[in-house]
Amino acid sequence: MPLGASRLADIDGNSYNDMMYGGGQGVTFMVANSTGTAYSEVSFPQYIFSQRTNFVDVNNDGHLDAFVCHDVDANVHFINDGSNNLTFVQGGLGETCGNYGSIWTDYNNDGAVDCFVAKCGCDPVDLLMRNKATTRSPAWRRRWSCR
């Protein structure tokens, strides 16, 4: 298993935890079968230097998505369509390198999850992205950054 980041969550709703792990060579998902007795590997061809990962509903559709802090490029998220399909998306939540960790919370109590990204070495140093939209239609706006 690569060094870097790993997370567990049930992304396909079968009551068994699935795993996402990553490091300097990419991100891999291990998805549990319907009985929890075996796993299928799902990998993507894109280069991702994963520092930290989160499972979070990025697009407010009720399905857990995956978010990856990319060390040398814009952050990455994998959108879960609810039918065991993940779609690679890069950017929109941190456009530069040096992304080391993220926290997802509704910091302003408006009912929509917001994203804070701790950064190192790239501009801006830290980044707060506020979800200024309603459910099923997130719209991210840079709220704050620190140099």
Write down the pLDDT at residue 116: 87
- What mean pLDDT, rounded, does the chain reach? 85
* Closest to 130 (Cα-Cα) out of 146, 109, 147: 109
Region of residue 38 (left: phi > 0; alpha: psi -120 to 50; beta: else): beta
**Distances 125 to 62, 72, 132 between C-alpha atoms, Å:** 31, 14, 22
Write down the pLDDT at residue 141: 61
∠ CA 102-44-127, nearest 5°, is 20
CA distance 61 to 145: 27
107: CB partners within 8 A, 6+ apart: 114, 116, 128, 130
Record the tokens describing residue 19, joined without a space.
């795993």
Q: Which residue has the higher pLDDT, 1 or 64?
A: 64
Output phi, psi for 86, to 5 deg.
-110, 135
Write down the pLDDT at residue 36: 95
Cβ–Cβ under 8 Å, residues 58 and 67: yes
> How does pLDDT run across 84-115, given as a tens digit for each residue?
899 999 987 777 888 888 999 988 888 888 88
> How does pLDDT run across 46-60, given as a tens digit for each residue?
999 999 999 999 888
Q: Which residue has the higher pLDDT, 126 or 15?
A: 15
Write down the pLDDT at residue 124: 64
Task: Provide the residue count of the chain.
Answer: 147
Name the DSSP letter for residue 124. Answer: S
